[in-house]
A and B are shown apart, each in its own frame.
Chain A
Amino acid sequence: MADDGGLTRDDAAYVARLARIDLTDEELDLYAGQLATVLRHAAQVAALDTEGVEPTAHPLPLRNVTRPDEPRPCLDRAEVLAQAPAVEDGRFRVPPILGEAL
């Protein structure tokens, strides 16, 4: 983060890489500025005293929702692959992968 609490182009570029979206420098600058605006309003939230307050991830009190270990019909492969941009040998084809699975 820049000293003024705003976002630098580099901050935005890092976030864009995390989100895996190609953005132009113009877009990076635009979003850096707009994010900063939202974050300034968010600062109001950040400033609140929430000592001892439990976070709510979810509005429901539900627990232990499960299903039985019983097979259900799978999709038809032809129908599945028909939606794919590229297919080979009944599998989804993608360009060579640079990074490794982690």
Chain B
Amino acid sequence: MSAPWEPVIGLEVHCELSTATKLFCGCRNAFGEEPNTDVCPVCLGLPGSLPVLNIRAVEYAMRIGLALNCEVRPSLFHRKNYFYPDMPKDYQISQYDAPINVGGWLELPDGSRVRVERAHMEEDTGKTSHIGGGGRIHDADHALVDYNRAGVPLVEIVSAPDIRSSAQARLYASELRGILVATGASDGRMEEGSMRVDANVSLRPAGTFELGTRCEIKNLNSLRSLGRAIDYEVERQAGLLEAGEKVVQQTRHWNEDEGVTVALRSKEEAFDYRYFPEPDLVPVVPDPAWQAEVAASIGPMPAQRRAKLAGLFGSTEPTPARTDQIATVVEHGLDGLVAAAVVAGVEPGLALARTSNEAAADPVGARRLDPGVYVALLRMEQSGKLSATQAKTVLTEMLENGGDPAEIARRRGFEALEADSLATVVADVVAAHPDEWERYRAGDDKLVGFFTGQVMRATSNRANGKAVAAELSRLRA
């Protein structure tokens, strides 16, 4: 129904930086500790305490800015004043009109570009739990506050309203996450809240340019809820507009269970933040030398790495399936394994398949793999020493406990059958199933699976599937 309406979407992404300590104090920047154990006078906002800026947080912010093609600029911290129990000073130290990164862009895998307006530093708040009333804020009996997260360094990345669909929004978020991980500045875990996405959504008549009234959607804890929330909000606003009603600018909360967005109550004075320069901190002015040093510390970004992998298959456009496999491999940082295998003569398709399926299923174990050993395994499969099934079994064990593939194969009795003994087994199986054989001869190729299964049972999985198929068609010819 929202056909005549064009969605205009901008995303605000808050990501926690992977520093050892908080933004302005030496407390640990950790997740899941006992409540109020990572706190000190500074992050509790005790009277008399003062902030001192964490230099690594600044450098991580610069990495993100450089990776997003931003201009890194002299910057200032401001105070954003508003009262909330999980904010120890009742103001947030954030960057306002002089952010460290401005004017960048992000190119998505589909070739589209989304401009990045700014990526600035700020401190995180504590965590509030609403107790009673089934955890629903409005029915809660009281609230409990844990300040472990208060003062954790954040970078807020604000996109221009360049996004036009929920699919593109998801693509932007996942590509951004890949970039954050690649810079080493953040682990980008949406589930743990170390990457939090807010979406600004408005509609305008397709083909026009003036922006409509927008709503900001919060509490999007996964790419899935990001997509669902935007779709819902687009429908909701289209419904209003088509009914001749107005969209009211407001902040809305995504309710994952009911699949709806709900308006948050906000007071008249809620947006009068009284920003002013933070007098307890001095300006951050990254000179060219410092920027160069930081730039040099950043590895290649996902897009470059995907292109490099695709290059292994020559100049031809990779198939959609292959493109997905490449994306998976890069997302989990396993492109090194594939490259090593191909250089060692492993067929690229095989290397990519094993890495994107089995290895990516256990990325932690996969990053522990010694490329040499991994290559050895793929070689065994390629040469037919191991069947695909056997190779996968061996690989799964290697991912769990490491070890040498040949040794594991031997322990499991995985040495493949010699060609002639395979022929004998196939002949026996064919003799044992005359009806199926007739249908196969008549051209019912589905039966290849049946015969292969029989042969596998007879050889306790030691046969090579490809070899069995070859022998069957030889007999039929």
Q: Chain A interface (Cβ within 8 Å of chain B)?
A: 14, 17-18, 20, 57-58, 60, 62-75, 77, 80-81, 88-102
Contacts and interface: CB of A to CB of B under 8 A. Distances in A.
Contact of A66 (B54, B83, B271, B279): B54
Contacts of A63: 282-285
A62 B57 CA distance: 19
Contacts of A75: 39-41, 44
A99 B131 CA distance: 15
Interface stretch (B30-38, B106-114, B158-166, B447-455): B30-38
Contact of A58 (B52, B53, B145, B282): B282
Given A96-B130, A102-B270, A57 B279 contact: yes
Contacts of B268: 14, 17
Contact of A14 (B58, B251, B269): B269
A93 B144 contact: yes
Best-buried of B36, B44, B146, B284 by chain A (most CB within 10 Å): B36
Interface stretch (B134-142, B174-182, B235-243, B382-390): B134-142
A67 B52 contact: yes
B40 A90 contact: no
Given A69-B57, A74-B39, A101-B84, 17 more contacts: A17-B267, A58-B277, A63-B282, A64-B283, A69-B19, A70-B21, A77-B39, A80-B39, A88-B142, A91-B35, A92-B36, A96-B140, A97-B143, A99-B266, A100-B265, A101-B128, A102-B271
A84 B36 CA distance: 12
B265 to A, nearest CB: 6
A80 B146 CA distance: 12
A101 B129 CA distance: 12
Contacts of A14: 268-269
Contacts of B144: 88-89, 91-94
Chain A at the B interface: SS class: loop
B143 A100 contact: no
A57 B39 CA distance: 29
A77 B38 CA distance: 9
Interface residues of B, number: 62
B84 A67 contact: no
A1 B125 CA distance: 34
B272 A18 contact: yes
B130 A97 contact: yes
Contacts of B58: 66
A80 B44 contact: yes
A69 B22 CA distance: 8
Given A17-B269, A70-B26, A75-B41, A90 B35 contact: yes
B27 A71 contact: yes
Nearest to B139: A96
A20 B20 CA distance: 35
Nearest to A96: B140
A71 B84 CA distance: 27
Contact of A72 (B40, B85, B130, B281): B40
B170 interface: no
Contacts of A102: 82, 84, 251, 266, 270-271
A74 B25 CA distance: 10
Nearest to A55: B277
The 4 closest A-B pairs by CB, nearest first: A72-B26, A69-B56, A66-B55, A91-B144
